[in-house]
Amino acid sequence: MFRRGLGIALLLVSLATASRAQSLEVLVKRDINSLVATYEKLHAAPELSHHEEKTAAFLAGVLRALGYEVTEHVGKYGRPGLTGYGLVAVMKNGTGPTLMVRTELDALPVEEKTGLPYASKIQTKDEAGQDVSVMHACGHDVHMTTLLGTAKLLAELKDKWRGTLVLIGQPAEERIDGAKAMLEDGLYSRFPKPDIAIALHDDADLEAGKVGYTPGYALASSNSVDIIVRGIGGHGSRPEAGKDPIVIAAQIIMELQTIVSRENSPFDPAVVTVGSIHGGSKHNIIPDDVHLQLTVRAYREEVRQKILAAIARIAKGVAMAAGVPDELAPIVTVSQTEAVPATYNDPELTEKLAAVFRQTLGAENVVKAQPLMGSEDFGLFGLEGRKIPISMFLLGAVDPAKVAESRKSGKPLPSLHSSLFQPLPEPTLRTGVIAMTAAVLELMKPR
């Protein structure tokens, strides 16, 4: 009798889930033309990090019209001349959990070369005063449109969920300081503090119509490190009279490669990349210094700290071995602004979302994805110590035919940040809205 009752209960849950999936499909099909138009509008009008004024205002206007209580200009950078363009939209719907859903607002200094009829032609000046083109080359326009589509459905389906829904538009993700700016401006004190935070990110290798999930570490921590290698300059014909910082820098670069290969466990993924080297001005002059710029990636905090200490040790040791005086030891600076922790997807929450996606989209459209060494600042919303469970899932954004051809030919697809990155609006947006709405309805279902 017990087994029969359990079987009936599971059948009813299955039927309810199927019914919900069909209902969401119908609602999104109704809205899809509007969603695509919104996406094309956002794609054609990108704004750089710290300059998302019109983008934020547009989202705020749409969300207010849907009945959300919206606050603009949330974000405190601590640097003069920077305005916070973050926005927070709140909808309270009875007693229940507080759930936060995030989108990003900013675009990249990239000249678009897709040839699309709605391609960006925007040009502006960056913070250094240089003329740059601007493009949504990372899919934040997909994220924003998905959030707006989800917000609309949830406003219509208030009888299906209970609690407080907090939607945030985060600025400056590409500069990895937007989340920190919003938190420092009282995101969790001025507004309802979430019990759970979720987000999505489009994927340049996954077919449109599919989603991916990664329990545990999903994205790496990131640190920008600068090294000034100092020497004693002079004439190129008399290297013995000085201490050549170019040679010392070359030795440092090679020694840095041993941190991951010889000092770090292969079971703890890490990356140390020297992305820039600048030194010297003429063929026959030994310069006084050389500047190196590095990026460091890791998952575990202990690994990150070990790598940063090793970089400082190696730089100093190589210079010492070259006979550089102590007063000219290399200067190693770890950026405090270009630094974020790893994004750790709460395993229980992530598996729960994956089950919802399989029920809603079909198991064949849900993929368990590998962790990435890329970084972003969504992890900060978990308060680093993971006091708030967070989860970010992946949204396929590429024409399935192009994915199939890439796998067949071995030719890689345009990646995120590429001038040729071209999401397929439909079914990407349809899948994103259905998946995110289903996730919220599950996490906030009446008890």
Whole-angstrom Cα Rg for the chain: 25
Asked whether residue 56 falls in the same domain as residue 193, the answer is yes
Asked whether residue 151 falls in the same domain as residue 10, the answer is yes
Domain CATH number, residue 239: 3.30.70.360
Residues 269 and 342: beta-carbon distance below 8 Å: no
Asked whether residue 214 falls in the same domain as residue 293, the answer is no
Asked whether residue 160 falls in the same domain as residue 256, the answer is no
Q: In the structure, what pLDDT confidence band is assigned to residue 83 with cuts at 50, 70 and 90?
A: confident
How far is the C-alpha of 230 from the C-alpha of 279, rounded, in Å? Answer: 10
Short-list 223, 343, 373, 229, CA closest to 295: 223
Provide mean pLDDT across the span 376-405. 91
Token digits for 173?
């993700």
Asked whether residue 82 falls in the same domain as residue 229, the answer is no
Asked whether residue 263 falls in the same domain as residue 212, the answer is no
How far is the C-alpha of 367 from the C-alpha of 46, rounded, in Å? Answer: 30
Asked whether residue 84 falls in the same domain as residue 206, the answer is yes
pLDDT for 2: 47
Task: Read off the DSSP letter of residue 194.
Answer: P
How far is the C-alpha of 303 from the C-alpha of 134, rounded, in Å? Answer: 35
Tens digits of per-residue pLDDT, 154-165? 999 999 999 999
**Can you tell me whether residue 88 is helix, strand or coil?**
strand
Asked whether residue 239 falls in the same domain as residue 282, the answer is yes
Domain CATH number, residue 415: 3.40.630.10
Asked whether residue 335 falls in the same domain as residue 350, the answer is no
Per cent of the chain over pLDDT 90 is: 91
**Mean pLDDT over each residue of the chain, to the nearest integer:** 94
If residue 41 lies in a helix (H) or strand (E), which one and from where to where? helix 2-44
Query: Vertex 373, ends 307 and 303: CA angle to 5°?
Result: 25
Tens digits of per-residue pLDDT, 164-216? 999 999 999 999 999 999 999 999 999 999 999 999 999 999 999 999 999 99
Question: Into how many domains does the chain fold?
Answer: 2
Token digits for 439?
């996730």
- DSSP line for 218-287: EE-EEEEEEEEEE-B-EETT-GGGSB-HHHHHHHHHHHHHHIIIIIS-TTS-EEEEEEEEEE-SSTTEE-
Q: How many CB atoms lie within 10 A of CB 31?
A: 17
- Helical H segments across 289-328, by residue range: 301-321
If residue 73 lies in a helix (H) or strand (E), which one and from where to where? strand 69-74
Asked whether residue 37 falls in the same domain as residue 161, the answer is yes
On the question of a cis peptide bond just before residue 427, with omega within 30 degrees of 0, the verdict is yes
Task: Read off the DSSP letter of residue 192.
Answer: P
Q: Is the pTM of this model over 0.75?
A: yes
Domain span holding position 173:
2-219+342-443
Tens digits of per-residue pLDDT, 261-293? 999 999 999 999 999 999 999 999 999 999 999
Provide mean pLDDT across the span 13-18. 54
